[in-house]
Structure 1
Amino acid sequence: MAEKVYAGKSVSVTDDGYLTDPNQWTKEVAIEIAKEEGIELTDKHFAVIEFIREKTLKGEALTIRTIGKSGLVDTKGFYELFPGAPLKKASRIAGIAKPSSCV
């Protein structure tokens, strides 16, 4: 594990850049992680990120399909918000562990 500084805050991250402690996450940290991914966060991004955090912190496993059925965004919209690897990028920005469904 490594330490990284986001928004002036030192956080613990895995080798892949995922926060090891979701309690270290803040919106400011998310904005800086998103910049690394080439994404500028909007209110829509934050709505999806907060959904992901809420479900994951309750112990629920997430899939792209689950997010597509959330009512916040459809699957196509999810890919548009987080291009390339949406679940992987959104999870990293949300400050949660890398989903087991992501390689």
Structure 2
Amino acid sequence: MASSETPPPSLRQGVRIAPHDSSVSVEEALLAAGEQVGHGNLVFASRVNKAVLVFVKSEQMVHQLVASGVIIRDLYVQVSPLSVPSTRVTVSGVPPFIPNELLETIT
């Protein structure tokens, strides 16, 4: 049985790098991300369709990458988080003649 020192990452530790050019390799994306947060802080990476998913050691580094973006092949590439916190509100028992805009203003 093999043991691993690194626990599996959560979605909150992941970012999505979608370069403009689909020929950008995973290594190029990792080098660019490593320049922002330090190469030792990169945990896992994978290509999904045309984007590269990168997992880092902490959520603070995710915020740093999202705020700064990365430069790949002399082009700025926006970085987006994998997990976006949101709140869902379910309203029931509202008659259909009440417009959605009115419900949105009652927060």
TM-score (norm. length: structure 1): 0.30
Kindly name which structure, 1 or 2, has the bigger radius of gyration based on alpha carbons: 2
Whichever structure has more helix as a proportion of its residues is 1
